[in-house]
Amino acid sequence: MPVRGIRGAISIEEDQPELILEATRELLEAILQANPSLTPDEIASITFTLTPDLRSVHPALAARQMGWGQVPLLCGLEIAVPDSLPKVLRVLIHWNTDLSQSDIRHMYLRRAITLRPDLVSSN
């Protein structure tokens, strides 16, 4: 079975744990809604990254709170590129699925829609 990647990102207003966890849940729920056949049992792993201005909590905690305790989760720091969009959480979900890559729906929410307008318009 192939492994497909689901990308997503969401902006967060302030570096506060509850805002990061809320945004993480919002993003993951939007990905689930856009990809209705996705289940946690089919997820090989998830990588979260945060821009350097967000560091008060690991976003993986939100996934665990959603019941994804058996999914391998990793959090990391996004590289600090000058003039890039600040306060952004990104996710890459590795999904074991027979769907084609063109059938995967990616989610970019809030100000993060500017990161990949080509993918937002196809959702």
Domains along the chain with CATH numbers? 3-120 (3.30.1330.40)
Instruction: pLDDT band for 112, please (50, 70, 90 cuts).
Output: confident
pTM reported for the whole predicted model: 0.91
Question: Taking 70 as the threshold, does the pLDDT of residue 77 lie above it?
Answer: yes
CB neighbour list of residue 50: distance below 8 Å, 6 or more residues apart: 20, 59, 75, 76, 77, 78, 88, 89, 90
**Which of 4-18, 91-105, 107-121 comes out lowest in average pLDDT?**
107-121
Separation between Cα atoms, residue 108 and residue 122, nearest integer Å: 11
Residues that are catalytic: 7, 64, 75, 78, 90, 108, 116
**118 confidence band (pLDDT: 50, 70, 90):** confident
